Amino acid sequence: MNALLLDLLPYVRKGYCCSQLLLALARQLDDTEDPGLMCAMRGLCHGIGQSGGPCGLLTGGAAVLGWLSSKNEEEPHPMIDAMTNEYATWFMERVSAYGGTGCESVSAGLAAAAGEPLPEGGMPPMELCGDLLAECWEKLLDIYESYELDGVRN
């Protein structure tokens, strides 16, 4: 199991999904509690409610960048589009072998790469997505540092 996932185990046990786990990491980075935002991130889970939508690691990562880079709702960071584009482009390249950015495609690709069957009609076990989650968090931290976002929210 990925070491980052071990840190997130309490959240995983509560049933948090990928987008919420990225926010949990961002809240630790920013030392902020925002239960309402965690609830809002739930809407991005499992490809937006198992609709076949994009992976929560893609949408959640974009949301985390928006949150970490803004002082308030009236002052978005002037480079938010560039940051989000950088993350999305990286993510699309990272999962391109899986046939798309949808949760199902990414999950099936990760399962195939691990040589594990994907649960029938269900969402992948978090252990399957843990390494990709760690890679996504690493990329988000790279963007956070390169755009000097430390202290923006304070």
pLDDT tens, residue by residue, 123-151? 677 778 889 999 999 999 999 999 999 87
Does a structural domain hold residue 142? Answer: yes
Does a structural domain hold residue 153? Answer: no
Q: Using an 8 Å Cβ cutoff, are 97 and 110 in contact? A: no
Q: How far apart are CA 130 and CA 108, in angstroms?
A: 14
Does a structural domain hold residue 154? Answer: no
pTM of the model: 0.92
Does a structural domain hold residue 136? Answer: yes
Res 114 pLDDT > 70: yes
The pLDDT > 90 percentage for the chain reads: 58
Does a structural domain hold residue 85? Answer: yes
Does a structural domain hold residue 38? Answer: yes
Does a structural domain hold residue 93? Answer: yes
Structural domain total, the chain: 1
Tokens of 40: 């809002």
The set of residues, in sequence order, having a beta carbon less than 8 Å from that of 77 and lying 6+ positions away, is: 69, 70, 83, 147, 149, 152
Which residues lie across from 102 on neighbouring strands?
54
- The Cα-based distances of 14 to 10, 20, 66, 145 in angstroms read 6, 11, 25, 30
Where does the pLDDT of residue 110 fall: very low under 50, low under 70, confident under 90, or very high at 90 and above? very high
The set of residues, in sequence order, having a beta carbon less than 8 Å from that of 65 and lying 6+ positions away, is: 80, 83, 84, 87, 140, 143, 144
- The Cα-based distances of 106 to 54, 87, 94 in angstroms read 9, 16, 10
Domain extent for 103: 3-146
What confidence tens digit (pLDDT) does each residue in 49-95 have? Answer: 888 899 999 999 999 999 999 877 788 899 999 999 999 999 999 99
The helix/strand/coil state of 54 is strand
The pLDDT > 70 percentage for the chain reads: 95
For residue 2, the model assigns a pLDDT of 67
Res 105 pLDDT > 60: yes
For residue 91, the model assigns a pLDDT of 98
Q: Using an 8 Å Cβ cutoff, are 12 and 126 in contact? A: yes
Does a structural domain hold residue 152? Answer: no
Res 17 pLDDT > 80: yes
Per the prediction, the chain carries an average pLDDT of: 89
